[in-house]
Structure 1
Amino acid sequence: MRKINYIVVHCSATREGYALTPEALEREHRRRGFRGTGYHYYIRRDGSVFDGRPLQLPGAHVKGQNAHSIGICYEGGLDADGNPKDTRTPEQRSALRLLVHRLLKLFKDARVCGHRDLSPDRDGDGTVEPGEWVKQCPCFEVSKNL
C-alpha cells in the first residue's frame, strides 16, 4: 500500500439543482486526459458513496500530491449562480464523516484537508491563507466541519 500523507476533500463544482453522475464525472475526467475518475471516492447528494480509483493507485486530484494522498469528492460546491458554496446535504455530511473516519483507521498519520489547503504558500509564512488559495474547493473549512 502507498504511504498516505493526506486525505483530501474536493467538490465537483456542480451547481445547485444540477446532477453530476459518477459516469458523467468519469467522462469529464477522461476528456481532460485522466485515465478515469481522478478521485478515489465520490459522494452523491443522497449520501451514496461510489468507488473511483483503487486506493493502491495514485489519484489525479491535487497536482504534486497525488502519490501520497486519497481524494474524496462530493457532488456540489456551487450555488445556483455558480458561486462557491457549501452545498453538502445532511446525507453527504454523514457519508463524508463516516468515510473519513474509516480511512483514518487505515492511515492513522494522514492529515484531512481540503483541496484549497494544499495551495502553494506564496508568502512563505508556513500557512496557506485564503488569499493564497488557487481554488475555493471544497467550499467549506474541512478542519472545522467534519
Structure 2
Amino acid sequence: MRKIDLIVIHCSATRADRCYTEYDLTTDHLRRGFSGAGYHYYIRKNGDIKNLRPVEKPGAHARGYNARSIGVCYEGGLDVNGRASDTRTDLQKHSLRVLVMLLLKDYPGSRLAGHRDLSPDLNSNGEIEPEEWIKECPCFNAGTILQETPVNPGYFI
C-alpha cells in the first residue's frame, strides 16, 4: 500500500445548470491521455459518491502530489454563467463531509487541502493567497469541510 498523507479536494469545473456524470468525467480524462479518471472519488449533485480509481493506485489530479494523495472531486464549480463559484448542493456538502471524515479516519494525520492550496507560494510568506492560486478549484475553502453542517440536518436522517 502506498503512503497517503494528503486528501485533495477538486471541482469538475462544470456549470451548475449542466449534468456531468462520472462517465463524462472519465471520458474527458481518457481524451487527455490519462489511463482513466484521475480522481479516486467523485460526488454527484445528488450526493452519490462514485468510486473512480482504486485508492491503492496513485491519482492523476494534482501534479507533484499524486503519489501520496487521494483525489476527491465534486460535480460543479462554475455558476450558470461559467464563473467560478461554490455550487455544491446540500447533498454534496453532506457526502463530502462524510467521505472526508472516513478518509481522515483511514489515513490519520493526513492534511486536507483544496487543489488551489497546492499552488506555489510566490511571495514566500508561508501562505497561499488568492492572487497566487493557479486555479480557483475547488471554489471554496476545503479546510472548512469538517465544520460545515447541512442547512437542514434532519433531512439526512
TM-score range, shorter chain: over 0.9
Residue of structure 2 in register with 1:100 after alignment: 100
Amino acid in the other structure paired with 2:82: G
Identity %: 55
Residue of structure 1 in register with 2:23 after alignment: 23
Whole-angstrom CA distance in 2 between matches of 1:110 and 1:144: 15
1:72-103: CA deviation from partner (whole Å, max 9, x where unpaired): 00000000111000000000000000000000
Gaps of 5+ in 2: 147-157
Whole-angstrom CA distance in 2 between matches of 1:143 and 1:16: 22
1:69 aligned onto 2:56: no
Residue of structure 2 in register with 1:143 after alignment: 143
Return the TM-score normalized by structure 2.
0.91
Amino acid in the other structure paired with 2:33: G
Amino acid in the other structure paired with 1:7: I
Amino acid in the other structure paired with 1:131: E
Return the TM-score normalized by structure 1.
0.98
Q: Answer with 80-89 or 118-127: which moved more.
A: 118-127
Amino acid in the other structure paired with 2:60: A
Residue of structure 1 in register with 2:152 after alignment: none
Residue of structure 1 in register with 2:111 after alignment: 111
1:85-132: CA deviation from partner (whole Å, max 9, x where unpaired): 000000000000000000011111111110000001111121111110
Tell me how many residue pairs correspond in the alignment.
146
Residue of structure 2 in register with 1:59 after alignment: 59
Residue of structure 2 in register with 1:34 after alignment: 34
Gaps of 5+ in 1: none
